[in-house]
């Protein structure tokens, strides 16, 4: 881990752009996630990467560290609130760590920046989605990332224990040409309730019961490769889908 990121994790503080103020990072992106992202970049031998949600730049530093090892070409970070909410500390940390030449910042909402990047012909090998966690925003982020992600590329979705992001992950796993490559839990796994486990057994024997239940009961997260408490899920793209299929699987 780059010294700047290591120091931030040890102190829980970032320094303002002018160097006069120390600011707590709060919940932020945990060390485990940052190390996980770096490893994913290295494993996929990524050359071009993309990120939704720069914030204080901790994930960005780890992705760039991975790109250094793979001989990567660049990283695009999207954050509409970099100046207003994060006081430009994230992009300043990129400069302080020596990654300025690798990173391009787009200070626009992701639903504006992503289609622009797609129209420009950007192709990426790795993407990290850590934006708004409502279902609609997370799904739009994935939709455009998918259009830019090369076959065999990886998209990592953060905050998967939040209902909106979790639903998007179930959609990806059940309806798109992706597989769960790996996960990062960052916490104790939560087990399904006894009632849920009993309903799953009943549903396995009855189509009628299955139709009356939510898909998450008769096809629980564990069968898809993650859990209710999984923090970050890395999906590998298996194939480019020429067009969206008419078929739809409840998720």
Q: Which of 149, 136, 171 is nearest to 236 (CA)?
A: 149
* pLDDT at residue number 244: 63
**Mean pLDDT in residue range 73-94:** 97
In three-state secondary structure terms, 102 is: coil
Q: How confident is the model at residue 239 (pLDDT cuts 50, 70, 90)?
A: confident
Of all residues in the chain, what percent carry a pLDDT higher than 90? 76
pLDDT at 188 over 60: no
Question: Would you state the torsion angle of the CA atoms of residues 170, 237, 2, 107, taken in this order, to the nearest 10 degrees?
Answer: -80
- Domain 3-191+224-237: give its CATH architecture: 3-Layer(aba) Sandwich (3.40)
Domain boundaries, the chain: 3-191+224-237
Q: How confident is the model at residue 217 (pLDDT cuts 50, 70, 90)?
A: low
17-72 confidence digits (pLDDT tens): 999 999 999 878 999 999 999 999 999 999 999 999 999 999 999 999 999 999 99
Q: Which of 4, 63, 69, 58 is nearest to 31 (CA)?
A: 58
Global pTM reads 0.88
């Amino acid at each position: 881990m780059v010294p700047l990121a290591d120091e931030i994790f040890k102190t829980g503080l970032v320094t303002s752009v002018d160097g006069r103020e120390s600011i707590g990072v709060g919940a932020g992106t945990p060390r485990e996630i940052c190390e996980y992202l770096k490893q994913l970049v290295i494993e996929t031998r990524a050359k071009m990467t993309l990120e939704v949600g720069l914030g204080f730049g901790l994930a960005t530093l780890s992705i760039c560290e991975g790109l250094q090892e793979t001989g990567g070409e660049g990283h695009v970070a999207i954050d509409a609130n970099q100046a207003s909410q994060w006081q430009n500390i994230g992009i300043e940390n990129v400069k302080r760590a020596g990654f300025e030449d690798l990173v391009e910042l787009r200070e626009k909402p992701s639903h504006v920046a992503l289609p622009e990047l797609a129209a420009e012909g950007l192709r990426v090998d790795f993407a990290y989605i850590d934006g708004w966690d409502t279902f609609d925003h997370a799904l739009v982020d994935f939709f455009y990332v998918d259009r830019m992600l090369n076959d065999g590329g990886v998209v990592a979705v953060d905050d998967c224990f939040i209902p909106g992001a979790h639903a998007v992950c179930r959609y990806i796993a059940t309806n798109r040409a992706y597989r769960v490559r790996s996960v990062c839990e960052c916490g104790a796994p939560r087990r399904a309730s006894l009632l849920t486990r009993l309903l799953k057994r009943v549903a396995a024997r009855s189509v009628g019961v299955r139709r009356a239940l939510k898909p998450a009961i008769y096809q629980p997260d564990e069968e898809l490769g993650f859990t209710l408490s999984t923090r970050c899920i890395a999906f590998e793209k298996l194939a480019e889908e020429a067009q969206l299929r008419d078929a739809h699987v409840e998720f």
